[in-house]
Amino acid sequence: MSGNKCAFPDCQNPIWTENGTLIGDMCHIEAHNPGGPRYNRTQTPSERDGFDNLLLLCGIHHPIIDNESETYTVDVLKNMKADHEQKYVHGVEPTDEIIGKLLQALTENNKEVYVDMLRSEIELCISMFELDKPRLLQVDLWTSAVNSSALTLFKRDELMALNRIYLKIKDYNHVIEREHFDRYTWTRLENENGFRLPYVTVKSFLADKASLIDELRTLKKAEWFNSSAPTAA
């Protein structure tokens, strides 16, 4: 979705630090509140907080686009968003529903909502491994979960479990991007004998994949993770 980079053209400022601390801003293209920059009174609440109306910027460029709203119009920002996301088109993008729930969870300090999103994300991650080739995994939701410690949503041991998955996904994505493993099928990688690809790197990548799947399945079965599930009416 963001490549962990500010969407402002040529800006290389990160949205999260290496330790998962959020240092960027989730900005509204059309303002959330009346009187805000580019506010659109015809928008519905879901459209206002929907993925298409959100833009990830650093702390430098967020006030610039809002203070200079005559220059940074809705069309300009939508084009900026589209151009930036095109660079990371092979990643797995969160849906409007996931973004909306994420905002709700952060705003209402709602652990149930957050865990429900993470539960869906686990299923999505596992399903990605069933494709014919490696694919970049969405990391933003895990980053936000790890960074939620200030909201006291999760206990220390719970955050440690989430952090392990976050770091494994980051490492997994990094290897794919560095080695271009998304060009090869899983079968091709599993049968590599070191003739064309670096044998040790391939085997390490496959081991990392297996370890990540184990972590996802372990979290999925964890008592605290399931005790947060909404009860049936």
pLDDT tens, residue by residue, 72-121 = 999 999 999 988 877 655 554 555 555 555 555 555 556 776 787 788 88
Say how far apart CA 133 and CA 196 lie, in whole Å: 17
- What's the confidence (pLDDT) of residue 152? 66
Output the pLDDT for position 79: 93
Residue 82 is predicted with a pLDDT of 87
Per-residue pLDDT tens over the stretch 141-196: 787 777 655 456 778 888 888 889 989 998 999 999 999 999 999 999 999 988 88
Closest by CA position to 166, among listed 84, 176, 158, 111 = 158
Q: What is the pLDDT of residues 190-217, one digit of tens each?
A: 999 888 899 999 999 999 999 999 999 9
What's the mean pLDDT when you consider all of the chain?
81
pLDDT, greater one: 30 or 15:
30
Closest to 131 (Cα-Cα) out of 171, 179, 186, 177: 186
Interatomic CA distance for residues 21 and 200, integer angstroms: 32
Q: Distance between CA 88 and CA 83 in Å, rounded?
A: 10
- Between CA 118 and CA 189 the distance in angstroms is 29
Domain positions in the chain are: 1-89, 96-227
Q: What is the pLDDT of residues 17-72, one digit of tens each?
A: 665 556 777 788 998 888 889 999 998 876 776 777 888 888 899 999 999 999 99
User: What is d(CA 182, CA 177) in angstroms, rounded to the nearest whole number?
Assistant: 8
